[in-house]
Chain A
Amino acid sequence: MKLNKLNIAVVLIAGFLTTTSCSNFLDVESREIIEAGDSEDVITPEEYVNGVYGMFTDWNYAFAYLGITEILSDNADKGSSPTDSGTDKDVLDNLTYTNTTPSFESLWSHWYKSIGRATEAITYTENYGLTDEGYKNRLIGEAKFLRALNYFFLVRGWGDVTIQELDLIERKPAAEVYDYIEKDLTDAIAVLPLKSGYASADLGRATKGAAQGLLAKVYLYQKKWQQAYDMAQEVINSGQYGLESDYAVLWRVTSENGTESLFEFQGRGVAIAHGIQQYSETQGARGTSGWGWGFNTPSQNLLDAYNAEGDAIRRDATIIFRGEVMYDGRVVDVGVENPMYNEKAYSSANAGAADGDKNIRYLRLGEIYLISAEAANELGNSSGALADLNRVRNRVSLAAVTTTDQTQLRTLIYKERRLELGFEHDRWFDLIRTGQAEAAMTAAGKPFQSKHNLFPVPNAQINQTPEMTQNPGW
């Protein structure tokens, strides 16, 4: 046995083997993807909050949103060419939609993803270590406002819905969802600055007034009349807002984020463009001489409503008529495909561009007055109701309402909402909320059934979570 030789070899080999154990060998640096540890240095909490707002610029708001807020109501028709279904706008218009109709799935998902971004932004901001407590609280408040807004979209469409932060399968009763929304809004109101409290560069962010206004609307949907009234009055009396004197400018670029505006979805049309993807284009006049796809057109039913009221100002601010000359001098060719188009979607500067400068007005003082009026009337305060209602009517040169009969006044306020807020994406929910849907839709020749009171939970969601319940009739 050549032990010496063996020993030498063993020592040599042991040397070989141990050289391979270098501890850093496995810490390979990532080249193409930024490592999690590095991204925290790069991204600020504010950017995550901005990312929640960013969801408002999605294509969903330009197409699916039109379908499930206006086209299915008596205000609007599908529009466009008869052969162009616009994915599913035909079945929405005709109330023959099903649980697989894509627009419901798109927005159900989109609103939940927006909620997800808000929650992530809140968590990130809370843990980031911001030293400026006011700034930190403001960011959290903004995110909570946005989260509440998206839950409100969901609850008024589907009723019972899951609360993402709690459970992804069990749909919570609508009342519980409303509680959750109220909590977020109450928190937001406590920390958000007034509209005038923001730096100029932050114009467009969620304000205390926006949160209060939304809360008033949330109370209204729950028939919490006193709270709705009080909250609306807080906004009205905050000194931050006033009615635009001319209704016609309300949806024009000059009034963006103006005195009447509580909250808008922001869009920019010039380079670097970042509009609400194609919102103006999908609703622009269609045809050789048009500038858009021609969807979501005013119905005859709506036109009749304006005419019956003698409401020319709001009619002409809401509807583009074939052949008319518009405020900016544009001649709407008589050859365009449809007789009427939605003027509130019209962008003068970037009419047919994918990125338009149109801001979608989500909440404005005009509506707050109507919330206040409706709540006051339900509380038996007809004089308060009349005062608020007539402020809105006065602006558009309509005669003051004088009746103090609660039922009559209720009907008049409902009608006022339709005319004042035409094409502001509220009509369907007002119809459902106030129980007018069946009568109104039947009058419009649409086969309304009780199942239409709630949207169908998208079938794709049920496929993922078979235990989740479906709404009745779907």
Chain B
Amino acid sequence: MGNSKSAYSIPGKLGKTERHIIVIWVDNEAGVLARIAGLFSGRGYNIESLAVAEVDKKKHISRITIVTEGTPQVIEQIKLQLTKLVPVHKVADFKRNDKNILFRELALFKILANSKKQEKIKKICKKFNPIILDKSKKSFVIQVTALRAEIDKLTLDLKRLGLISTSRTGAVAMTKGAQIFN
């Protein structure tokens, strides 16, 4: 770095990063996801996972849930920059380790296994609300809902038992108790 001749300042010390969940309510209109994703990429923010779907058919409101990592200053900027976008109605943000927040990701696994092996797999998945969606003699498709780390671990375990395809969603989140995000 010492000899660099850039026209800009030297990067300062990086603060400690933390993982946050950002929830955004937006008008469900053409290009809105590109605006959100473009803001993240354009300003160098990170998207770990993203989940989006319309939650209000009448008002055409979509709810976007983004998992991101950054210093407190960056997280603050993300919120403020998002709030500036015209189709954004509100933005909620909380730490990943907030005890009052529920998270879920959903995963589908396709596994090559005979019925004996299938029983074993169901056992492994027991904690994660397993549902068999499709079944044949040689294979089956199982759905689980769990936390990110749990699904990561499950994926590793199932690799050994004939996992051939994985499909996962980004995390969605909701507060515990009667209150809602504001």
To the question of whether A and B form a pair in one complex, the answer is no
